[in-house]
Structure 1
Amino acid sequence: MPLLVPPAPAPALRSVLTALGSPTAVREDRTPALRVLPGPFTAEAPLPVHILGGIGQPAAAPLSRLAGWRFLIRCGGRSVAVAEARVTADGWAFSRFSEGPYVKSTEQALTQAESLPTAYQPRLLSVPELYMLTLWLHGDTTADPATGGPAAGDLLVPLAPAPPGIAAYRPYRAADLLPVLRVRLTPRQLSGPLLGSPA
């Protein structure tokens, strides 16, 4: 079934299009591909980016918060970079262009998700403590893309490169993957003193 991609906020898209259209409109340098390729460039596949927090605290439920929107920048039929717009106190502002492995892995995960038998609302879920980014396939396709956290039945698809021991592009149920992430981030609880340490 097709993914039901929510529309990005108009000011977020406008900030990215302005940055694409005018190299002098933003302070940050363009990526190598955006400097070399002649264009035209388009901003496609808008995805809300949520940051996952509280995952390393055993007593608390993991929380996610909207950090911005990410767009695949395409030129000549292929994705060459990503652009991000972030939430500010005044609304939406262009954040940055970037290249790297997450450009292609996002595109690959979206293509893979299109073949799933169930419709999902695609989002991105970032776990900064693990340097991990996942395609979050939210089961409620009518939900506000700016709110909510991963539900137990949602799918999380780690993008490459994924942390060691977690397979990239494999869809995990959130109920299965989140406890694994929690174990990785929770400080080890020692039951007694270490050998050679003061008692």
Structure 2
Amino acid sequence: MPLHIPPAPAPALRSVLTALGSPTAVREAPTPALRSAQEPATPELPLPVHVLEQFTPQGLSATRLAGWRFLIRCGDRAVAAAETRLTPDGWAFAHFFEGPYVASTERALRQAESLSGHYQPRLLSMPGLYMLTLWLHGDLSDDSADGHPAATDLLVPLAPAPPGIPSHVPHRVADLLPVLTHRATPVRLMGSPA
């Protein structure tokens, strides 16, 4: 099934296009692949980036929208990503970057296209676990800026994933949650106050 990629806010896209058109922004970016690209760079596949900062005994806390991420395509592959942030003045370009999450995101999106069902793709960052997932949200009517992972939503850990969590394997939130909650729960040392 095709994914239903939500449209990015127009100012976020404009800020990325402006940065791509700026020789200074591209030259100063820590992205050798983008700096050396011979073909035009285009922002594609905008995904809202949500951050999950807390696991509770009842499950996942609400997420907060941290920005929008665009894959930057040169020719037939993504060579970098651009991140935007919401500022008091609106959406603004934050930075370009490259690394394993660029290719991993592209791969996970291709895999998700082959799943049955309809999904709205998002990225879900879990800083406490050093983990980034492709979040396949099942309610297409939801605003992509808001949200809470539903038990039936799918999470696809991107590579590199934490040890013991296989990357690029879709997991229902209800199935992955106990593992994540256990990992995120601080271990109380013997003799430490309760």
Looking at CA atoms only, which structure, 1 or 2, has the larger radius of gyration?
1
Q: Give 1:102's aligned amino acid.
A: Y
Runs of 4+ in 1 over 3 A off after TM superposition: 25-28, 57-61
Q: Give 1:10's aligned amino acid.
A: A
Matching residue of 1:41:
41
8 A Cα contact 2:26 2:34, kept in partner: no
Matching residue of 1:127:
126
Q: Is there any run of 5+ residues in structure 1 with no aligned partner, and where?
A: 195-199
CA distance, structure 2, for counterparts of residue 178 and residue 68 of structure 1: 24
1:20 and 2:12 aligned? no
CA distance, structure 2, for counterparts of residue 193 and residue 34 of structure 1: 53
Percent sequence identity is 69
1:88 and 2:87 aligned? yes
Cα distance change of structure 1 residues 193 and 24 upon mapping to structure 2, 3 Å threshold: closer
1:182 and 2:181 aligned? yes
Shift of 1:61: 4.3
Q: Give 1:175's aligned amino acid.
A: A
Shift of 1:141: 1.1
Matching residue of 1:165:
164
Q: Give 1:145's aligned amino acid.
A: S
1:31 and 2:31 aligned? yes
Matching residue of 2:4:
4
Matching residue of 1:150:
149
Cα distance change of structure 1 residues 3 and 59 upon mapping to structure 2, 3 Å threshold: closer
CA distance, structure 1, for counterparts of residue 25 and residue 157 of structure 2: 34
Shift of 1:48: 0.3
Q: Is there any run of 5+ residues in structure 2 with no aligned partner, and where?
A: none
Cα distance change of structure 1 residues 119 and 33 upon mapping to structure 2, 3 Å threshold: same
Q: Give 2:131's aligned amino acid.
A: M
Cα distance change of structure 1 residues 36 and 168 upon mapping to structure 2, 3 Å threshold: same
Query: May I ask how many residue pairs the two structures share in their alignment?
Result: 192
**How well do the aligned residues superpose, as a CA RMSD in angstroms?**
1.8
Shift of 1:149: 0.9
Shift of 1:24: 2.9
8 A Cα contact 1:3 1:114, kept in partner: yes
CA distance, structure 2, for counterparts of residue 151 and residue 27 of structure 1: 41
Q: Give 1:65's aligned amino acid.
A: R
Shift of 1:47: 0.3
The alignment partner of 1:109 has SS state of helix
TM-score (norm. length: structure 1): 0.90
TM-score (norm. length: structure 2): 0.93
